Structure 1
Amino acid sequence: MGTSEAVKSDGIFYFSENHTAMKLKRRSFVKWVSLSPALAMPAFACSRPEKQDSKSTSKPVQPLNLSIEPISRDERLARLAKAQQLMQEQKIDALFLEPGTSMKYFLDFDFFLSERMVAAVIPAKGDIAYICPRFEQDKVEELVKFGNKVLTWNEHQSPYALTAKLLRDLGTPNQKVAIEERCRFFLYDGIKNETSRINFVNGDGVTAGCRMYKSPAEIALMQAANTATLEAYKILFNSLEEGMTQYDFRDIASEAHSKLGFRGSIGANFGEWSAFPHGSSKIQKLKPGDIVLADGGCTVEGYQSDISRTIVFGDYNDRQKEVWEVVKEAQSAAFELAKQAGATCEQMDAAARSVIDKAGFGPDYKYFSHRLGHGIGMDGHEWTNLVRGNSTPLQAGMCFSNEPGIYIVGEFGVRLEDCFYMTENGPQYFTQPSPAIDKPFA
């Protein structure tokens, strides 16, 4: 396959493949993704501009036909068994969940949140029970896939008293009940006021103890999500046009994901605003020579991707290249460290930070202002983090982002992010890192 080049003429960038030029206007691109069954997408590389005269040829991009297998019932039963084992080991009598990621993870149950309690209790031993308003009983029973006990309350009654009675009936010999960490305070407080003898603890020891270690089926879904987002990036970077805003960028990213068959989003910041790690709310208009720092992902069967790329719109300068290459070296150093047996989360952060400090962009958090990475799975950010003070050893099944950055306020920022997972033989990337500032895709 031939290389592509970015060529500027009359305020429009041309992208060429095999020396055939393509003029890509944003309005045309959005019209394609809205109306056509396939997108025209040439291969992309950030090359130095050269004049091209011939007309373009383009390749249609069909929805990605990835092999996607949802999480099986047997796998969820294994998750429940592990959760009960962890509860018994930690002398926890039950785990209280309300709708959210952990409830979906264990029970494949999803429901909207409101001021009315809808919840599940997974006991260390015994059958799962659900609590809901009586008028929601039929709907809840439709959604229940594990267990068959649904307890209900009418509007004048207390769901907290009902939950307390359930816990008494289940038995709490250890007088300890775990509350999932994202459970809203008023639910915990209401139950606690009805059960003075029970000690409530954070449920992370159970939920994170399961969710932090991904199965092969989960890894496969995350790989699909990362593959889809990387393809969306390729389409997106071919749509860059002078004068576009970060909101134009985001809209095209969503459309690109959609046409590939997924729901996803990628945001960006241009020029000096790329020095804000999570961006600025100010309207930004892309101009030649701007850094483009993009970050986003999509969801496949509930599992997330997260990828950042930093490129230059048009010609890069020596300063941009210098900073980009330091960040690249930091990302590589952290990944190499992860290959060492017994490496810990904080050691990965230290490896990347050391590279950046030695290059003169220290000390410490001065320009690399955040941790190296976060856990990822069903939530875009979950347990555990690659950060100082976290001595957790890297273990098979763990998944992380590797995303060092340098942010120089008033100039620009650079971040490179690729997610990886741990195997028995070391780390493996979901997406291959960018080789160079003018080559965002390996």
Structure 2
Amino acid sequence: MTAGRFPTDVYARRLSAAAVAAADAGLAGLVITPGYDLRYLIGSRAQTFERLTALVLPADGDPTIVVPRLELAALKESAVPELGLAVRDWVDGDNPYALVLEALGGGTVKTAVTDSMPALHLLPLADVLGTVPVLATDVLRRLRMIKDSAEVDALRKAGAAIDRVHARVPDFLVPGRTEADVAADIAEAIVAEGHSEVAFIIVGSGPHGADPHHECSDRELRAGDLVVVDIGGPYEPGYNSDSTRTYSIGEPAPEVARRYAVLQRAQQAAVAAVRPGVTAEQVDAAARDVLAAEGLADAFVHRTGHGIGLSVHEEPYIVAGNSLPLEAGMAFSVEPGIYFPGEWGARIEDIVVVTDDGAEPVNTRPHELVVVPAGPGATA
């Protein structure tokens, strides 16, 4: 594997599959500007600027990269040189959108564009094409949802790395320290354990744990707090980790422990429900039904999970109303939570990969409420 990306043959297969999908959709081709779709297809981490950079992928024909001459060097970090793709560079004063049309074969053509293409490029492209492009999301959705073996391996490595961070978290949870202090330690650990950067850190202590998207604050940790720690980041070649565990500073109150045990059963039930043919909403229901049976339905205020890969949040979404049948290779979070505003919250999250007959979690840290010593003489 080349640093920062997969072997070249992985991208060759993806380009071929995307061209077939475009043809099946009745499109002349795809136009992919910088973003996760471009990174998926050719391993490029190019950024979007006012000058157009785009992969032009005809449904029938050879791909072309349209790129400003001053950005040519950025292609060296992608799979473009090894793939032998045609490169059409341009300079200020040229019309790069005409180059796109030429690469698509000319004429008025039905084309799809990545959903991250800015209007700055979409509008002049539509003018040249003579028609407004559609989104490539439907064409690329299944390709990106079904992870290949290289992607699954990358997710396993990311999962193991974030597990190593969670193993260190109890040492950071000392009464008197602030959530921000803990978050700073976690950020350092995320990089130290192999991630290329930090994507997000949630340290929700006490009542802050009841806000699912709380980040961190200057609130000091106290004995008796439950602390929700939700963390993740990209691990080369850019596949993300995302795992939540809940910690208790000192022994939890009996009712807190009872409710947490129900949450643990709900998370286990959802993971156990994962297998090919089961729908996304059935996995969501598996978690929700356990909580509802114990009177905790109203405490679960979000979907059960989201897909993950190059993006932290992508399809499939594990939510009521999503009748998508699961397939082997799909990867997503299973993360039910319970939240009691003004009091406390808890969440348990693993990333799982759908296998031929079930699910493979890539996170293996214990799911029990992790009790951290409150310190000598500490009181709730």
1:335 equivalent in alignment to 2:271? yes
Structure 1 unaligned blocks of 5 or more: 1-67
**Equivalence map 1:148-167=2 (5 Å):** 148-167=85-104
Contact 1:127 / 1:147 at 8 angstroms: preserved in 2?
no
Contact 1:228 / 1:298 at 8 angstroms: preserved in 2?
no
Greater shift in the superposed pair: 199-208 or 390-399: 199-208
1:369 equivalent in alignment to 2:305? no
Match of 1:316 among 220, 231, 252: 252
- The verdict on how the C-alpha distance between 1:361 and 1:206 changes in structure 2, with shifts beyond 3 A counting, is same
CA distance in 1, matches of 2:155, 2:210: 29
How big is each residue's C-alpha offset from its partner over 1:171-219, in whole Å with a ceiling of 9 and x where there is no partner? 66xx3211112222332122112222x4521112222221111112211
Q: Could you tell me how far 1:378 is from its partner in structure 2? A: 1.3
Counterpart amino acid of 2:129? Answer: T
Over aligned residue pairs, what C-alpha RMSD do you find? 2.2
Counterpart amino acid of 1:101? Answer: Y
1:326 alignment counterpart: 262
CA distance in 1, matches of 2:147, 2:287: 25
- The verdict on how the C-alpha distance between 1:139 and 1:352 changes in structure 2, with shifts beyond 3 A counting, is closer
Q: Could you tell me how far 1:282 is from its partner in structure 2? A: 4.4
1:190 equivalent in alignment to 2:117? no
**Equivalence map 1:115-154=2 (5 Å):** 115-140=50-75, 143=78, 144-145=80-81, 146-154=83-91
1:74 alignment counterpart: 9
How big is each residue's C-alpha offset from its partner over 1:225-248, in whole Å with a ceiling of 9 and x where there is no partner? 110111111112222211212221
Q: Could you tell me how far 1:267 is from its partner in structure 2? A: 2.8
How big is each residue's C-alpha offset from its partner over 1:131-185, in whole Å with a ceiling of 9 and x where there is no partner? 222333455467533344222333334433443343344x66xx32111122223
Counterpart amino acid of 1:192? Answer: A
- The verdict on how the C-alpha distance between 1:138 and 1:289 changes in structure 2, with shifts beyond 3 A counting, is closer
Counterpart amino acid of 1:421? Answer: V
- The verdict on how the C-alpha distance between 1:103 and 1:260 changes in structure 2, with shifts beyond 3 A counting, is same
CA distance in 1, matches of 2:229, 2:192: 19
Contact 2:190 / 2:232 at 8 angstroms: preserved in 1?
no
Contact 2:58 / 2:103 at 8 angstroms: preserved in 1?
no
Match of 2:203 among 268, 272, 276: 268
**Equivalence map 1:78-97=2 (5 Å):** 78-97=13-32
Structure 2 unaligned blocks of 5 or more: 373-380
1:239 alignment counterpart: 172
Q: Could you tell me how far 1:438 is from its partner in structure 2? A: 3.2
How big is each residue's C-alpha offset from its partner over 1:68-92, in whole Å with a ceiling of 9 and x where there is no partner? 9952211211111111111111111
Match of 2:232 among 294, 297, 301: 297
CA distance in 2, matches of 1:142, 1:281: 35
What SS does structure 2 have at the residue aligned with 1:401? strand
- The verdict on how the C-alpha distance between 1:99 and 1:69 changes in structure 2, with shifts beyond 3 A counting, is closer
CA distance in 1, matches of 2:215, 2:73: 46
1:383 alignment counterpart: 315
1:101 alignment counterpart: 36
Q: Could you tell me how far 1:328 is from its partner in structure 2? A: 0.9
The TM-score, its normalising length taken from structure 1, stands at 0.77
2:288 alignment counterpart: 353
**Equivalence map 1:220-239=2 (5 Å):** 220-239=153-172
Contact 1:84 / 1:124 at 8 angstroms: preserved in 2?
yes
1:284 alignment counterpart: 219
Counterpart amino acid of 2:113? Answer: I
Identity %: 32
Contact 1:69 / 1:221 at 8 angstroms: preserved in 2?
no
Contact 2:4 / 2:238 at 8 angstroms: preserved in 1?
no
- The verdict on how the C-alpha distance between 1:75 and 1:157 changes in structure 2, with shifts beyond 3 A counting, is closer
Contact 1:226 / 1:298 at 8 angstroms: preserved in 2?
no
Counterpart amino acid of 1:118? Answer: T
What SS does structure 2 have at the residue aligned with 1:263? coil
What SS does structure 2 have at the residue aligned with 1:111? coil
1:26 alignment counterpart: none
Match of 2:341 among 402, 406, 409: 409
2:377 alignment counterpart: none
Q: Could you tell me how far 1:329 is from its partner in structure 2? A: 1.4
1:179 alignment counterpart: 113
- The verdict on how the C-alpha distance between 1:75 and 1:347 changes in structure 2, with shifts beyond 3 A counting, is same
1:202 alignment counterpart: 135
What SS does structure 1 have at the residue aligned with 2:172? coil
Counterpart amino acid of 1:287? Answer: R
- The verdict on how the C-alpha distance between 1:199 and 1:69 changes in structure 2, with shifts beyond 3 A counting, is closer
- The verdict on how the C-alpha distance between 1:294 and 1:390 changes in structure 2, with shifts beyond 3 A counting, is same
Counterpart amino acid of 1:155? Answer: D
1:438 equivalent in alignment to 2:370? yes
Q: Could you tell me how far 1:326 is from its partner in structure 2? A: 1.8
CA distance in 1, matches of 2:259, 2:49: 47
Contact 1:129 / 1:147 at 8 angstroms: preserved in 2?
no
Contact 1:308 / 1:417 at 8 angstroms: preserved in 2?
yes
What SS does structure 2 have at the residue aligned with 1:351? helix
